[in-house]
């Protein structure tokens, strides 16, 4: 365990994440956990924050590999440790940031799985097969994820005051509590209206404004949405693939790109700060173009004698 004397400093760091950087609760929790990892390492090695060096930070990273943490997770922990070190420098605990030159592991670009419109329709039909009191809610969730490209946390945090169904858009609070306006398709509006007009669970105190509720009347959780999407994918015959709520977001972006939408428009609708994050969808589109060329170009057709 890290020394109890470090707890007040970590609490101040949490306040910094919440109020200075305006990060979401999930991001705050992840960054705080990374800071705790660094503090535990320093305690185990008998090192101090004030005298922390670049070489010691390298030792911290090497220890992550030693216990079998995968490169993608190492990269995330390094990002959290860097944030903590910047905070310590701002607070005057360090004269220089020892993590400034720390390199993150190279991670190969992973092309996310995507669904076709027909496969999404099969998942919507699976809601009917699954049935239950939540059927209309589940259809509305799938349609909003696919038609609006929301992150699962954005969907769970959606409130009644964020819906502008007559104007055909919704307001989303994304990372850093930055909001954006996302157009809604007619099918998404229809599914949401049907859900809101249906009998819903009695909201618990403080949960009245949330759009998507659990059986217990609380805002639906991220885990519940993950489980729901996986179950519906299985009923739709897609269970052999790793389908998640984020798959629907990727599918939203890919369908837009294939339909001719520009990267900047997709960037705005997804809420990406950096266009390079959005550019991954050009790789997906190129791979589908390659398949089309190999299938239809006369030079790629096999001739039979």
For residues 139 and 196, the answer to whether their CB atoms sit within 8 Å is: no
Q: Is the dihedral of CA 222, 30, 254, 108 positive or negative?
A: negative
Give the number of other Cβ atoms within 10 Å of residue 103's Cβ: 9
Look up tokens 């709520």; give the residue: 245
Phi-psi region of 237 (alpha: psi -120 to 50; beta: other; left: phi over 0): left
Q: Which candidate, 169, 168, 170, 175, places its Cα nearest to that of 151?
A: 175
Q: Which sequence positions are flagged as catalytic?
A: 151, 175, 246, 249, 272, 281
Contacts of 162-169 spanning 24+ positions with Cβ under 8 A: 162/211, 163/192, 163/211, 165/189, 165/192, 165/193
For residues 109 and 280, the answer to whether their CB atoms sit within 8 Å is: yes
């Amino acid at each position: 365990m890290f020394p109890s004397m470090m707890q007040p400093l970590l609490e101040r760091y949490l306040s910094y994440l919440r109020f200075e950087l305006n990060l979401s609760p999930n991001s705050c929790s992840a960054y705080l956990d990374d800071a705790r990892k660094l503090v535990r390492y320093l305690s185990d090695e008998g090192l101090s924050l004030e005298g922390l060096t670049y070489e010691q930070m390298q030792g911290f990273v090497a220890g992550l590999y030693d216990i079998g943490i995968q490169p993608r997770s190492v990269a995330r922990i390094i990002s959290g440790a860097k944030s903590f070190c910047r905070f310590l420098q701002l607070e005057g605990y360090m004269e220089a940031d020892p993590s400034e030159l720390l390199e993150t592991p190279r991670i190969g670009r992973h092309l996310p799985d995507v669904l076709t419109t027909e496969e999404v329709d099969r998942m919507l039909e699976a809601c009917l097969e699954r049935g239950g009191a939540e059927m209309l809610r589940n259809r509305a969730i799938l349609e909003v994820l696919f038609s609006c490209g929301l992150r699962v946390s954005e969907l769970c945090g959606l409130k009644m005051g964020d819906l502008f169904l007559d104007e055909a858009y919704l307001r989303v609070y994304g990372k850093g509590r930055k909001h954006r306006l996302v157009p809604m398709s007619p099918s998404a509006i229809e599914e949401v209206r049907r859900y809101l007009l249906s009998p819903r669970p009695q909201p618990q105190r403080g949960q009245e404004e949330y759009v998507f509720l659990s059986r217990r009347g609380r805002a639906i959780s991220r885990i519940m949405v993950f489980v729901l999407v996986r179950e519906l994918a299985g009923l739709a015959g897609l269970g052999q693939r790793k389908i998640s709520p984020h798959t629907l977001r990727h599918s939203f972006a890919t369908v837009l790109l294939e339909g001719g939408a520009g990267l900047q428009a997709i960037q705005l609708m997804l809420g990406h700060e950096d266009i390079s994050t959005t550019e991954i969808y050009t790789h997906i589109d190129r791979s589908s173009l390659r398949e089309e060329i190999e299938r239809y170009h006369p030079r790629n057709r096999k001739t039979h004698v």
